[in-house]
A and B are shown apart, each in its own frame.
Chain A
Amino acid sequence: MNLLGPFYNMKIGVVDLSASSAKVIPLDQEQVSSYLGGAAMNGAILAGYETDTLVFGTGPLTGSFAPASSLMIASFVSPMFKRLCHVPLMLRTGPDMKFSGVDYLAVKGTAPEQSVLHVNHGKVRILPAGNLAHLSVPEAIIELKKVSSPFQSVILTGPAAERGSPYASLSISTNGSLDKTGLAFLMAAKNLKGIMLGGTDGLSFNTDNPDQGKELEKIISTDKNFKRKGFYSVLKNLEGGKDAAKSLKADRKKDMACYHCPSPCMTHVRYSWRDPRNKETPNSEEGLLLLDHTGCIALAKKVGKNILPILRACLHCGLDPVAIAEMLPQGQTLPDYLNAVDKIVSDNPPCTTGLSQRQCLFGGGIPSIVTGDLMEKRVALAMLLGICPIFLLRFPQITDAALLSFISTREEDLKHLQESLSSAIASLLSAQFS
């Protein structure tokens, strides 16, 4: 019996950008049973294609009633680190991918012209996107919305990636992401501007007990972390986070959550500012969704209270704040910093983000909420099942068994699933697919 059947569309979209062809083929059931899904499955799919292939995938619990089931995982061989990396993409990308009728997406080759992919109703289409060239991320999204193909979620590269910047970072809508290992660079190298996810279908999952997620929520509701919601609460518990939180002063804050997450770790901030380089511009109110803890800590160390306008500049250009922080000088004024960011986008100076090979396995952007082996195991678990890794790191009392019970509550099934999960985690951490 295929336990994971209700959790997948059992479809993989294969896109050959060189040949401008896209097809959807059935997923190998045996492969799914042995790898469960997520990063491990991505790795297995990647092994069957050329090394420059990009694989976007979901876990079995992505989009389900499990808490924080928001994850989509992008797997690729990092052009900077020359090794396999799995980047977590949160917000609503994972569920929207599944609700578009495709579980995995393998993108190979290079498009002759800049393109975007549109996934919906179990089909993948390649659309021309020449008009998006050199547009900032918010501008590109406005342009995309004019296209007749509606979408629920979009992932996009910015102008920095188009210019071949190795420290470009992918943007989920206008909000940036935890990509610090060259995913955006690789997409831009393939002339792939972004992926639009229609998300208008659905998936049955095991909807017999929709209260199961609520029951799990009750367990974690006694945890002190559960009440400490929002970006700032998580940030303050990280090394250097307290100083960063002090720098991130905003006029208005509102906690925001990814798909089905009961304990949000993001905060939308509003602040007023005026571009100091142009004295004629009036004061304006800006909004930013803070989701990159490591990026904020790195940037706050360098630029202090100027962090919000610089972070905004990074997100508009699609740049990784950690890499930008490495390159910016200390003790400058805001106009100097903004000019420096513009110069980085145009000049592409060499830089290292200081990520270790170990850190870059999962994109390098997941905050170190716990340390050592536990961190890796929890993140691997999240990346396999399609649960937000930050959520699982914050709530270690959520066990593997509790998550697997969303797939099946039968004891023998659970035993089988646990075995598959253990071996998948082990192989993921040993990175044998690289």
Chain B
Amino acid sequence: MAEQDFSLNLDDLRPRPAEKKRFSEYFMPRRHSFIIFHPDRCTGCGACEMICSTRNTEKVAPVSASVKVVRDEKEGKNFSILCQHCRKPLCLPACPTRAIEKGDDGIVRIDKLFCTECGLCTMACPAAAPIKDPGSQEIHKCDLCEGDPLCVKQCPENALTFTRGKAVRWIKGLRWTSQLMSFLLLVMVFIGTFCYFRTGNVNFACPTGTLQNIASSGTIVLVGVSSALALLILTVLAGRLFCGWVCPFGFVLDVVDKITPKKIGWPSFLKSRMTKYGVLAGAVGGSYALGFQVFCTVCPIGTLCRAYGVQSFFRSAELAIVPALASLEIGERRSWCRYFCPVGAVLGLTALLRMIKIVIGAKRCKKFSCIQCAEVCPVGIIDADKLREGLSPKIPMTECIMCMRCIDRCPYDAAKIRFRWQKATPGEVRI
């Protein structure tokens, strides 16, 4: 009989808690507590280090503090080294004894009982926030004084502020309301109005449909062109706001995304954002060759909007295109919008003339320790690697659907909307 192995490994002793999203978190985000450092206010007096060290060591010893003020004498700038209690802390997997844990309250703590003072967490943390005491060799790391940070209270210049994160994300609420209302209006009430709508002297037409119409008929009708301008002007003024806030198929995709949060990903050869311009060219070329608006027959937006009421909605066979394209959502969020949508392509080209832009990386941005903006971006245009390097990523506005999730999610208010001609502002926080 084979000998049984009764030895225990680390997984038996200290199993990693499962990363599970609570049901309530789909509606109310989990509060992310942390301390914001304002370098412009800090005078470098070290009051934070003093008080923190008394909590850590019961004596005043600034080098034993969990917060460190780094003074750049030449530049005249002060920086703080302070744990940001990252959502996905790098120190946590780096710890060989699993002494670091992230509690339900979001606070990352070191369990002194298991800490061997190896210092691997210090090396893993991009901000070097776990600080090794040069005297006792202990590792000190901010635990937010269990929710009531002393350093924040002691700072005479209010250079440290404690936040529990955003409780309500009002942009999220507004966007969902707008998407739902648009869906109901375009699909259920004003049926078929997205493709072409006319009341009195006011005309509205889908710009992609208009392009195909011109190609298929071989004539340019001024009324048709001008009616397509409404959406294009909106795009010039506010970027691809239509895609993020109005598009009924975008709403369907966002709902499907909520149902299928886990993504399988697409092979890299499929992931070309230029494909949608190819689809657009194909749609226009096909319309020219065949003499009818080729893409409009399978357009998911148009199909939804032409479903003629609740009854027909379920009967119409052409609606099969909607679940078929929505199933792309299992690969990546808004896969259709990213790679294939010709309407998005037209709006993307128009967005070259946009008046606004989104900037990420104002002075407050903690970049590497947060990266929430990159995680929530549905079209994946925020470069997480750039953030990890401590640099401000450039947002390609031709791809941005202006959903403003990045602005809504950023706990540091570092993502902003700016006019195109405004200086990019983002003062780099170099550590």
Q: Which residues of A contact B (CB under 8 A)?
A: 63-65, 92, 95, 99, 121, 150, 152, 173-175, 199-205, 207, 210-211, 213-214, 217, 252, 254-264, 268-270, 287, 289
Contacts and interface: CB of A to CB of B under 8 A. Distances in A.
Contacts of B47: 213, 260, 262
Nearest to B53: A202
Contact of A200 (B45, B50, B75, B135): B135
B44 A202 contact: no
B237 interface: no
Given A201-B135, A262-B156, A287-B73, A255 B43 contact: yes
Interface in B100-116: none
Contacts of A203: 59-61
Contact of A99 (B62, B73, B76): B62
A63 B47 CA distance: 10
Interface in B229-256: none
Contacts of B156: 217, 262-263
Interface residues of B, number: 29
A257 B43 contact: yes
Given A202-B61, A287-B75, 11 more contacts: A99-B63, A174-B74, A207-B60, A252-B76, A255-B43, A260-B50, A262-B156, A264-B43, A269-B76, A270-B75, A287-B74
Contacts of B73: 173-175, 287, 289
Nearest to A174: B73
B146 to A, nearest CB: 17
A202 B60 contact: yes
Nearest to B61: A202
B62 A256 contact: no
A303 to B, nearest CB: 22
6 contacts: A99-B60, A200-B63, A202-B53, A211-B153, A256-B43, A259-B46
Contacts of B44: 256-257
Contacts of B154: 210, 214
Contacts of B59: 202-205, 207
Given A202-B59, A204-B58, A204-B59, A287 B43 contact: no
Interface of B: 40, 43-47, 50-51, 53-54, 57-64, 73-77, 134-135, 150, 153-154, 156
B45 A262 contact: yes
A216 B77 CA distance: 28
B61 A99 contact: yes
Nearest to A226: B156
B51 A210 contact: yes
B76 to A, nearest CB: 3
B63 A152 contact: yes
Contacts of A258: 45
Contacts of B135: 121, 200-202
Contact of A270 (B46, B57, B60, B76): B76
A270 B134 CA distance: 33
B251 to A, nearest CB: 48
A365 B73 CA distance: 22
Contact of B45 (A150, A202, A204, A260): A260
Contacts of B61: 99, 200-203
Nearest to B150: A210
A217 to B, nearest CB: 6
Nearest to A138: B74
A179 B242 CA distance: 68
Contacts of A214: 153-154
A258 B135 CA distance: 24
Nearest to B134: A200
B121 to A, nearest CB: 20
A264 B74 CA distance: 18
A200 B57 CA distance: 13
A175 B74 CA distance: 10
B304 to A, nearest CB: 55
Contact of A287 (B60, B76, B134): B76
A259 B154 CA distance: 13
Contacts of A263: 156
A113 B417 CA distance: 62
Contacts of B51: 210
A163 B425 CA distance: 48
B53 to A, nearest CB: 6
A157 to B, nearest CB: 18
Contacts of B75: 270, 287
Contacts of B53: 202
Nearest to B77: A254
B56 to A, nearest CB: 10
Nearest to A6: B59
A432 to B, nearest CB: 33
Contacts of A257: 43-45
A314 B60 CA distance: 35
Contacts of A174: 73-74
Contacts of B134: 150, 200
Contacts of A202: 53, 57, 59-64, 135
